[in-house]
Amino acid sequence: MKLVLFDIDGTILWSDGAGRRAMQRALTNAFGTSGNASYRYDGKTDMQIVRDLMRMEGIADALIDARMNALLDEYVEALHEELRSRETHVERFNGVVELIEALEARPDRRVGLLTGNIEVGAGAKLRAVGLDPARFIVNAFGSDHEVRGELPAIAQRRAREELGLHVEGDAIVIIGDTPADIDCGRSIGARAIAVATGRYSVEELAEHSPFAVFPNLADTDAVMRAIDAA
Ligand SMILES: [Mg+2]
């Protein structure tokens, strides 16, 4: 049995900046600034983005914590608006649905999410590209923990508690588009498959020694073979 956990942004889909714009609106409402414009959101959890950006503005953790939940509620509201906007062109990457279908057809594979998105935001983004969030049956979200490195063990625990599956760390395969995706599962021995559909190139991702790296997920057979071998 292997657990195959997908990142969302840059891996399953491209939200055309909808997530970033929604976060900037929520940050501005809560703190009067959206922070350093050159800060990179990719590979980060939603709560980490809020904390990193507002710490850089000199805001104390106690105040960040006090406003976090209300800020995330506003973020979700803004995200729905941004995803609905006619100016937003959300894209689902080639091969994603075929890969999920191929995994679902295998009795020894389970599909899930490992994403920095809070759960409600993850659902909104997936629905925006026509994917039913219910297809992902073992998940760890940015709402479960602020630190991405904690998420693989959370997914592993959920597999046990919710599906009765005992999955060893090295039977967990994480598919993602950033070095953070590659590195987050190391502590439990998870395997990483990197995909260069986000902002990182194949070469940049390869420097972080994933089990495999692909330019995209379009070659279903090749990705399935990599998952088998991982
Ligand atoms: Mg990503």
The predicted-structure confidence for 45-95, as pLDDT tens digits, reads as follows 999 999 999 999 999 999 999 999 999 999 999 999 999 999 999 999 999
The predicted-structure confidence for 15-34, as pLDDT tens digits, reads as follows 999 999 999 999 999 999 99
Instruction: Answer whether 11's CB lies under 8 Å from 136's CB.
Output: no
Instruction: Match 């998105």 to its residue by tokens.
Output: 117
The predicted-structure confidence for 162-202, as pLDDT tens digits, reads as follows 999 999 999 999 999 999 999 999 999 999 999 999 999 99
- Its CATH class, for the domain covering 18-84, is mainly alpha
Instruction: Answer whether 142's CB lies under 8 Å from 116's CB.
Output: yes
Number of Cα atoms under 13 Å in the Cβ half of residue 48:
20
Measure 10 CA to ligand 1 centroid, in angstroms: 5
- Per CATH, the number for 2-14+92-229 is 3.40.50.1000
Return all residues near 6 (Cβ < 8 A) that are at least 6 apart: 12, 100, 111, 112, 113, 114, 115, 136, 175, 176
Spatial separation of the C-alpha atoms in residues 184 and 202, rounded to whole Å: 18
Instruction: Answer whether 202's CB lies under 8 Å from 213's CB.
Output: yes
Measure 159 CA to ligand 1 centroid, in angstroms: 22
Measure 199 CA to ligand 1 centroid, in angstroms: 9
Q: How confident is the model at residue 126 (pLDDT cuts 50, 70, 90)?
A: very high
Closest CA to 129 of 98, 153, 93: 93
Quote the pTM value.
Answer: 0.98
Measure 11 CA to ligand 1 centroid, in angstroms: 6
Measure 18 CA to ligand 1 centroid, in angstroms: 14
Which ranges in the chain are annotated with CATH 3.40.50.1000? 2-14+92-229
Measure 184 CA to ligand 1 centroid, in angstroms: 12
Which ranges in the chain are annotated with CATH 1.10.150.240? 18-84
